[in-house]
Structure 1
Amino acid sequence: MNPDAPTTVLPRCAILDDFQGVALASADWSPLDGRVEVRALREHIDPLADPDGLVVAVEDCEILVVMRERTPLGADLLARLPRLRLIVTSGMRNASIDLAAARARGITVCGTASASEPPTELTWALILGLARQVHTESAAIRAGGPWQSTVGLDLAGRTLGLVGLGKIGGRVARIGLAFGMDVVAWSPHLDDERAAAHGVRRAASLTDLLAAADVASLHLVLSDRTRGLIGEAELRAMRPDAYLVNTSRAGLVDEAALLRALREGWIAGAGLDVYETEPLPTDDPLRTLPNVLALPHLGYVTRGNYGRYFGQAVEDVEAWLAGKPVRELG
C-alpha cells in the first residue's frame, strides 16, 4: 500500500429520527457499501428549537434521509449545510422542505411511495378504541381498578363523517360500511358522483358533516387552505357524545380549540396520532386528558411500510449517484 496515495472520502448519509433503531435493518442498504457512508440518528433534534444542534449533527453529510415533516428544512437551515446535495423524504410530498431554496442551492429532493393501508388500519384502531373505551378499561385492569366501568358505543347504525375521501378516506369508508355505519363525506372538491362511487353520501358542508357525525375522521392533505380547518366553531358544531379522530396532520385542527373542547365537554373525546410538536412534550396535556386516546404517530409505522420507504430511499440514493435521480419532488 502506498501511504502517500490520496484517501477517498465517501459521501455521508444521515438517516434522521430512527426512533426504533430499525432503519438499517428494514431494507437492504448493501448496494451503497463502499459508495456511501450511512449512519442512523435515533434522537430527534428539532431544527426550530435547536438549529445549531442539528447543523452539528449533519453538517458533514451530502445526503439526508428524513421522515415525513418531522424535520423542517427551511432556507436558513439549508444555507448552513453547504455539503448537502440530496434529501430523501418518506412520501411524495413534504411541506416542511423548502423546495425552491433546495433547488437554488443545487440540492435534489426525492421521495418514496407510500401505502394507504397502514394509516387506514390505525384510523380504525383509534375509532374502535374510542368506541369501546379500550384505553380506559385497559388502564383500569392494569391498575387493579373497577371491572367494567364504561359502556361502549355501538358502531352499527351510527354516522361516520369523513373529512376527505382520497385513498385513505376511501378505504376508511369501505370499512365503515362493512360495520353497518352510515358514512358521510365532505371535502372542498368532493362531488356527488365521486361520493356515490365510494358508496357514501356527500355532506352539503363541513358543518353539516360534523353536526351529524358520531365519529368524525380527518383525511385531508395539509395546505394553506386546510390549516386550522377544524377550529372552535367546527368543534362546537359537533355533538357532546361525538368523537374526533385525526391520523392525518395536526395542523388541520386548532390545537387550543381542541384542548378546550376536550376539557369542557364540547365533544366526548379524540383519537390522535399527529401533533404540532413531535415527539409530544412530556408535559403536554394531550398525554393525560382522560378522554384522549393518543398514539405516538404510528400511522405509517409498520414493517411493510418501513421496508418500502427505506428500500426506495436506497434506490433514490443509487439513482442520484448515477446522475439520474428518480421520484423527484417539485
Structure 2
Amino acid sequence: MADAATEARDERHVLAVVPPHVGGRAAGAGFAKLLPAPARVTVVESVDEDLQALRTARAVITALSPVTAEHLASAPELRLVQCASHGFDYVDVDAARSRGVPVCTIGSSGAEQQNVAEQTFALMLALAKQLVPAHTALVEADWALPRLKPSLTELSGKTLGIVGLGQIGQEVAFRGRAFAMDVVYAGRRRAAPEVEQRLGARRVPLDELLRTSDYVSLHAPLTEATRHLLSRERLALLKRTAFVVNTARGALIDQAALADALESGAVAGAGLDVFDPEPPPASLRLLRAPNVVLSPHVGGVTRETVVRISLAAARNVAGFLAGEPPQDVVN
C-alpha cells in the first residue's frame, strides 16, 4: 500500500526550477505554496540538481532555467513543461513536441505586460534625458549641464518603432501615444484593424521601421527565425540619432554589432534589460559601451508582477494535474 500511495503522489509530482539569478530556492518555496494538495513540489535551482526528482516529475515549472532535450529524455513521467514567463526560448520545444509533452507559457494571463511596458519607457526616458550620466556627474560634484545639453531630447513627436505588436507591444504602443509619439510596428502578422485604430499604429516592413524610427523597441519572441534579428546589417539602417531598447530577449540583437555601433557613434544609445547569456559575463562589451542604460532583467519582476506570474503558472499546472487541458501551449 505504501508503494501505491507513493505512486499516487508521484502522479502529482511537480519540479519547480528557479535559478539563483531570478530568486533561487526561496522564491521557489514561495511558489510551491501556491499549488494545492495533493501536488508534491520539489524546488531546485537547476534541473540537474536533482535528477531523481526529474525522473518522477509529472510537470516541470521553469523560471528562465534551461530544459534541454537531455532533460526531457530523462523524464519518462513528464507530461507538462510550464514556463513562468511569456518567453519559452530556454526550453527545447522541438524535443518536447517529439515526446508529446506540451510546453506552456503564461501569455494569455497578461501578467508581465504592464511592467515590461513601464520598463521600456523607463529606459527610453533615461536615454532621452541622459539620467544615468547626469546622476553620476552630480554625485561626483560635476555640474554636467553644459556637456549633456546637446544630447537631451524629447519623446513627443518622435517615431516609436515596435518590433512585435503582441500584448506587451500593444501596451508599449498605448504609452507611446500618451507621449504624443508616432507609432509604427513590424511583425509576422498584422494586428486586427480595431487594434491598429485604437493604438494609432501603422504596420511597416522591418527595414523601413529601422530606417525611420527614433526609438526601436523589441517585443518579439526569441526563435531561430528572430535570433540576431537586429544583425550588423540591420543596425546599419538606423539613424545616428536613434535609440535601441530591448526588454524581450538579449539574443534578438547581435550584441557585438551593437557594441560596435555604440562605440562608433552609429547609434545614439541603447536601453537593455536583457542579455545573452544571463547574467552577462563581465567581458561583455555592452556593459562598458557609451550611452547605455542597463538593468538586470527586471521587466517582469516587480512585486505585483511576480504574484501574477506565479498565480498564472500555478493555475495552469494545477488545472492540468486535475485533468483540464493546458493553456498557452506553444508547441
- Same fold per TM (> 0.5)? yes
**Residue type of the partner of 1:207?**
D
User: Post-superposition shift, 1:296?
Assistant: 1.0
Pick the structure with more helix per residue: 2
Partner of 1:51: none
State yes or no: 1:39 paired with 2:43: yes
Task: Tell me how far apart the structure 2 counterparts of residues 266 and 91 of structure 1 sit (CA, whole Å).
Answer: 33
- Structure 1 pair 84–241 and aligned structure 2 pair: CA distance change class (3 A): same
Q: Mapping of 1:1-330 within 5 angstroms?
A: 9=6, 10=9, 11=13, 13-17=15-19, 19-20=22-23, 21-25=26-30, 28-29=33-34, 31-32=36-37, 35-41=39-45, 54-61=47-54, 62=57, 63-67=59-63, 70-82=64-76, 84-91=78-85, 94-102=88-96, 104-105=98-99, 107=101, 109-112=103-106, 113-115=109-111, 116-148=113-145, 149-151=147-149, 152-190=152-190, 193=193, 195-203=196-204, 205-327=205-327, 329=329, 330=331
User: Equivalents in 1 of 2:269, 2:234: separation in Å?
Assistant: 15
* Paired letter, 1:168: I
Matches of 2:259 and 2:247, distance apart in 1: 17
Amino acid at match of 1:229: L
Distance 1:13 1:221, change over 3 A: closer
SS for the counterpart of 2:36 is helix
TM-score of the aligned structures, taking structure 1 as reference length: 0.81
Following the alignment from structure 1 to structure 2, what is the Cα–Cα distance between the partners of residues 217 and 180? 16
CA root-mean-square deviation: 3.0
- Residue 114 of structure 1 aligns to which amino acid in structure 2? G
- 1:49 corresponds to which residue? none
Inter-partner Cα distance in structure 2 for 1:106 and 1:164? 29
Percent identical pairs in the alignment equals 34
CA distance in 1, matches of 2:84, 2:235: 31
Query: How big is each residue's C-alpha offset from its partner over 1:153-190, in whole Å with a ceiling of 9 and x where there is no partner?
Result: 12222222222333222222222222122223333443
Unaligned 5+ runs, structure 1: 46-53
Task: Confirm or deny: 8 A CA contact 1:16 1:64 kept in the other structure.
Answer: no
Distance 1:85 1:294 in 2: 38
How far has the Cα of 1:107 moved from its partner?
4.4
Deviation at 1:305, TM superposition (A): 2.2
Bigger drift between 122-131 and 188-197 goes to 188-197
**CA pair 25-285 structure 1, distance change in 2 beyond 3 A:** same
Query: How far 1:130 sits from its partner (Å)?
Result: 0.7
Q: Structure 1 pair 195/81, CA: closer, same or farther in 2 (3 Å)?
A: same
SS in 2 for 1:211: helix
Structure 1 distance, partners of 2:210, 2:128, is 17
Name whichever of 277-286 and 122-131 sits farther off: 277-286
For the residues of structure 1 that align with 2:268 and 2:39, how far apart are their CA atoms?
54
Contact kept in structure 2, 1:91 and 1:114, CA below 8 Å: no
Counterparts in 2 of 1:318 and 1:165: CA distance versus 1, 3 Å: closer
Q: What is the TM-score of this pair, normalised by structure 2? A: 0.81
Distance 1:83 1:39 in 2: 17
